[in-house]
Structure 1
Amino acid sequence: MTESHSSLPEPEPLPREDFEGINGEHHLTPDALAAQESIATIASLQSPQNKTALQQAHSQIQQYTVTKFTVKPRALVLTVVAIAITGVGLIINNWVIGLLGTLMTLALSLTMLLPWWQYVVQQWFSSQDRTLFVASVGLIVGIIGLFQFTSLGDRLQLWVKQIGWEASGTLAEWFGALGQISIAIVAVYVAWRQYVISKDLTIQQNLLTVQQNIITQQQTIDSYFQGVSDLVLDEEGLLEDWPQERAIAEGRTAAIFSSVDGSGKAKIIRFLSRSKLLTPLKRDRRLGRAILDGMGGYEEDRLDGVRVIDLGVMLAAADLSSNDLRWTDLSEANLVRANLSNCDLVKANLARTILYSANLRGADLNGTRFFYGSVATASPRSRNEVPNYETGEYTGAVVENADFSDVQRLPEITRQYCCAWGGEKTRATIPGGCEGIPNKLGR
């Protein structure tokens, strides 16, 4: 492999015979020979690690070799002479001369045709096909020999003689009926397979439709994100929302909530919340513009602040189950009869949120805010009373008739608040029970 191509030894000349190729010699075609010489040249420059790859390439080239065989003129002359001897024997009706010419003709013809037959068999029949053919012939010969050289043949003949052939007509009718039944079974099977294939195609079409709907919904949500951003931000990226702009933003939000599923709603809520568009911001009393807090953000004002987008009743009875709502600001939103089961509500703000008859089964409530201030003085929101964010009065969520079954990581102060202000139906679903906690709701 490390020697140069010029140092390769010269090939020895092949022995000449009357019938070349009889011993299975193979000669490469010009294209294959050129390719093999190229591989040999490359091999002289390659490292030992590539030896395996070069051997595989060499084996692939061997697949394109063609068996060549040539016949010398002397063999052709001998064959013609043998044919002539056979003809003479036939003409003079001499069996000795005819038999001699016939044997010579057969021998010479078979010798010339043998390489071609070998080539045809190798090209048209694989080793597996040849094996199956020989095995099939062997099976047939074996069965014939089994019946011929054992008593099975005699027993079969005896059994055939004992058959009442007068009943053959009835037997034919039975076979005819059996054939009709078989055809009916095949027809039922074909119909069933068509139904299965049609059902599979329908399922695949439905999956494609669902995927297309998901793509379309995501495009709609992206367009909404861009539209709201362009609407509420000025050229410098500051929040310069005016009353009409806020009204249009709320209208867009209400419209898109009605056209997306729960996952789409959760994405929109996360976008609006992290963009501080759901948070009440402190504003200039004259211009109404949001005021910076001096730390790179906007200052919040829970009591008198104005939200860019007020969700209001947009999410009432909405299905948000099994979605990610972490760190979202849903304060003061109306979530009456909303489905929040199995939602991730870690660090979410639900203060003053209406959760009347809401379903929070299996939700993760670790760090979720339900009220401000102390649990001893906190109370649910009121239509007529102003909330006190220091003591917690009227800052709490409305949790009456809510379902807290199997909620995860429920904080102790949240459990106490929900037991105190949830009513009897809510108290019955809170993990850990409400024993020793008075029902301040009174119903």
Structure 2
Amino acid sequence: MTIESNSPNLPTPEPTPEQDLQPDDFDGGTGDNHLTSEALAAQQALAAISSLQSPQNKSALKQAHSNFQQRLKPPIIVKPRALLITVIGIVITFSGIFLNNWIIGAIGTLVTLLLSLVMLLPWLQYVIEEWFSPLDRTLFVAFVGLVVSLIGFLRFSGVGDRLLLWGRKINWEASGTLAEWFGALGQILIAIIAVYVAWRQYVISKDLTIQQNLLTVQQNIITQQQTIDSYFQGISDLVLDEEGLLEDWPQERAIAEGRTAAIFSSVDGSGKAKILRFLSRSKLLTPLKRDRRLGRAILNGMGGYAEDRLEGVRVIDLGVMLAGADLSQTDLRWTDLSEANLVRANLSGCDLVKANLSRTILYDANINGADLNAVRLFYGSVEKASPRSRSEPPDYNTGEHTGAVIENADFSDVQRMSEANRYYCCAWSGEKSRETIPGGCEGIPNKLGR
């Protein structure tokens, strides 16, 4: 049985050219690897809320709100003639009262009433529109109509007469006074109102708590991003000289590893993924070929640094920083996680397109639903490739001891796994993991033996 090799058959693996890392190399395109529209909408909503919290926007909104309220107040225009006639009507009304003449009083009262209503009508309309929404006005009219209809039903259906007859037959002295009944009814209504007020307070408090939690989450995201940006700048200043070349001495590498280990413990999975992408694309996780005396990274003659998988030195060695880490649903494309300890790590739903996982410890890891398109699990040919060993050095020519440790890993529903990687996973993952590999492992021996 012959299976296509997972990498070129070279004594020392050469660095992958930058042109080979373009999105056109992916199977089926990269449309599935972009952020979804829901994620973009969520990021835009968070940015909009953050921008609206600035003092300038708050003052502008208050000014616009006050201007809007001023525009809503309609001017009450009263003609001087109407005002004069109203005053005359008031005088006539009082004259009728003093003279005890009902004709003069009735005329003055009628004129005063009509003109007063005409002048107050715009203000009343404004008050109704300002303080009562269309829904409130509709409910008020509906409630009044319900009360009137009940009165009409009792009056014209004969039910009211029957109730009166039934009431006359009741011995009110034995049943208690009418005031006591109304008092009991009032206490019940007060209790109902108290329950309603308490319920409304609970609802308002719950809404305020939810809003406060959203603001807290937003503030945490902003704070985390600021922390990550500060880390990026600090690492760049630490490992680069004035000419922009890597000048990482042993103490600088130790400080860089210490900073990385510290920030990994204070950010979530998304923050860890951002840091890993930055370090990987900056070649800070890749073993670089070094000058034996000075320890400086050597250029490859093509505008980058030469890689040396066998004896190279990494600027930052992840080691056990990511053991047991939760990296689920994150973007880890093109990241170099080779020789990292990811034991019991959660990589479910991750985008691992073209990630380098050679010699990575994935023991008991959760890779459920991850995208494994063009991922590297080993070097050399799949027939001779084997997981890393504690005592034996890797042979990048044949592939022995260059593979990832994948025992007991969960490969359920992984996407776009190549045939070479499926053969390697079936051969070296153990009986428990073989049952989770898509496509099955029929005809592929269990080289792990357990």
Answer whether TM exceeds 0.5 for this pair. Answer: yes
Confirm or deny that 1:297 pairs with 2:304. Answer: yes
Residue matched to 1:194: 201
Partner of 2:226: 219
1:230 aligns with 2:237: yes
Which structure has the higher relative contact order (CA within 8 Å, separation 6+)? Answer: 2
Change (3 A) 1:386 1:85: closer
* CA deviation after TM superposition for structure 1 residue 159, in Å: 4.7
2-structure distance, mates of 1:335, 1:88: 105
**1:321 paired residue number:** 328
Unaligned runs of at least 5 residues, structure 2: 1-70, 130-136
Matched, 1:421 2:425: no
TM-score between both structures, scaled by the size of structure 2: 0.70
Confirm or deny: 8 A CA contact 2:96 2:103 kept in the other structure. no
2:313 pairs with 1:275: no
Q: 1:88 to 1:346 in 2, by over 3 A?
A: closer
Query: Could you tell me whether the CA contact under 8 Å between 1:69 and 1:115 is conserved in 2?
Result: no
- Counterpart in the other structure of 1:68: 79
Residue 151 to residue 64, structure 1, CA distance change in 2 (3 Å) = same
- The answer to whether the Cα contact below 8 Å between 2:95 and 2:104 also exists between their aligned partners in 1 is no
Deviations 1:179-233 (A, max 9, x none): 5454444444444443443333333333322222222221111111111100110
Measured after TM superposition, the shift of residue 336 of structure 1 is 1.0
Q: Which moved more, 1:308-317 or 1:162-171?
A: 162-171
2:442 match: 435
Deviations 1:363-386 (Å, cap 9, x if unpaired)? 111111000111111111112222
Cα pair distance change 1:163/1:234, threshold 3 Å? same
2:113 and 2:271 map into 1 onto residues whose CA distance is: 78
For 2:431 and 2:440, the matched residues in 1 are separated by 11
Corresponding residue for 2:57? none
In structure 1, the partner of 2:391 is 384
Separation (CA, whole Å) in 1 of partners of 2:249 and 2:419:
42
TM-superposition CA deviations, 1:55-80 (whole Å, max 9, x none): xxxxx9xx647332539x9xx99x99
Structure 2 residue identity aligned to 1:292: L
Partner of 2:120: 120
**Is 2:419 the partner of 1:399?**
no
What amino acid sits opposite 1:68 in the alignment? K
Take 2:370 and 2:435, find their aligned partners in 1: how far apart are those partners? 17
Quote the Cα distance in structure 2 between the aligned partners of 1:281 and 1:307.
Answer: 6
Superposition RMSD on alpha carbons, in Å? 4.4
CA distance, structure 1, for counterparts of residue 387 and residue 297 of structure 2: 28
After TM superposition, the structure 1 = structure 2 runs for residues 38-187 of structure 1, keeping only pairs within 5 Å, are 64=75, 66-70=77-81, 103=103, 107=107, 114-124=114-124, 158-169=165-176, 176-177=183-184, 179-187=186-194
> Per the alignment, do residues 137 and 261 of structure 1 end up closer, same or farther by CA in structure 2, a change over 3 Å counting?
closer
- The corresponding residue for 1:366 is 373
Give the aligned residue type for 2:358.
Answer: A
Over 3 Å counting, the alpha-carbon distance change for 1:139 and 1:319 in structure 2 is closer
Aligned to 2:399, what secondary structure does the other structure show?
A: coil
What letter is aligned with 1:397?
A: A
Task: Tell me the amino acid that sits aligned with residue 415 of structure 1.
Answer: R
For 1:256 and 1:196, locate their aligned partners in 2 and report how far apart those are by CA, in whole Å.
Answer: 39
Give the Å deviation of 1:173.
5.6
1:139-175 CA-to-partner distances (Å, cap 9, x unmatched) read 9999999999997886666455333333340776666
For the residues of structure 2 that align with 1:195 and 1:159, how far apart are their CA atoms? Answer: 44
**Which residue of 2 is the match for residue 310 of structure 1?**
317
Paired with 1:184 and 1:80, the residues of 2 have a C-alpha distance of 51
Q: Is the 8 A contact 1:406 1:431 kept in 2?
A: yes
Deviations 1:345-402 (A, max 9, x none): 0100000111111111111111110001111111111122221212111110011111
Paired residue type of 2:79: K
Q: Is residue 2:255 matched to residue 1:244?
A: no
How many Å separate the matches in 1 of 2:287 and 2:120?
Answer: 89
- How many angstroms apart in 2 are the aligned matches of 1:209 and 1:197? 18
Partner of residue 63, structure 2? none
In 2, Cα distance between equivalents of 1:191 and 1:242: 66
Once the two structures are overlaid, the 10-residue window that deviates more, 280-289 or 143-152, is: 143-152
- SS of 2:176's equivalent? helix
1:290-325 Cα shifts (integer Å, max 9, x gaps): 111111111111111111111111111111111110
Percent of aligned pairs with the same residue?
74
Report if aligned partners of 2:96, 2:104 keep a CA contact under 8 Å in 1: no
Q: Give secondary structure in 1 for the equivalent of 2:389.
A: coil
Q: Which residue of 1 aligns with 2:359?
A: 352
Q: Which amino acid aligns with 1:371?
A: F
Contact 1:274 1:328 in 2 (8 A): yes
Please, which moves more after superposition, 156-165 or 410-419? 156-165
The answer as to whether partners of 2:172 and 2:178 remain within 8 angstroms in 1 is no
**Number of the residue aligned with 1:285:** 292
Contact 2:297 2:305 in 1 (8 A): yes
- Deviation for aligned residue 1:115: 3.8
Tell me how far 1:327 sits from its aligned partner. Answer: 0.4
Change (3 A) 1:180 1:247: same
Q: Determine the C-alpha separation between the residues in 2 that align with 1:84 and 1:386.
A: 119
**Deviation (angstroms), 1:428:** 1.6
Q: Check whether the contact 1:231–1:241 (CA below 8 A) recurs between aligned residues.
A: yes
Counterpart for residue 204 of structure 1: 211
Q: Distance in 2 between matches of 1:132 and 1:426?
A: 64
2:269 is matched with 262
Q: Partner amino acid for 1:305?
A: G
CA apart distance, 1:137: 11
Query: Using the alignment, how far apart are the partners of 1:351 and 1:86 within structure 2?
Result: 107
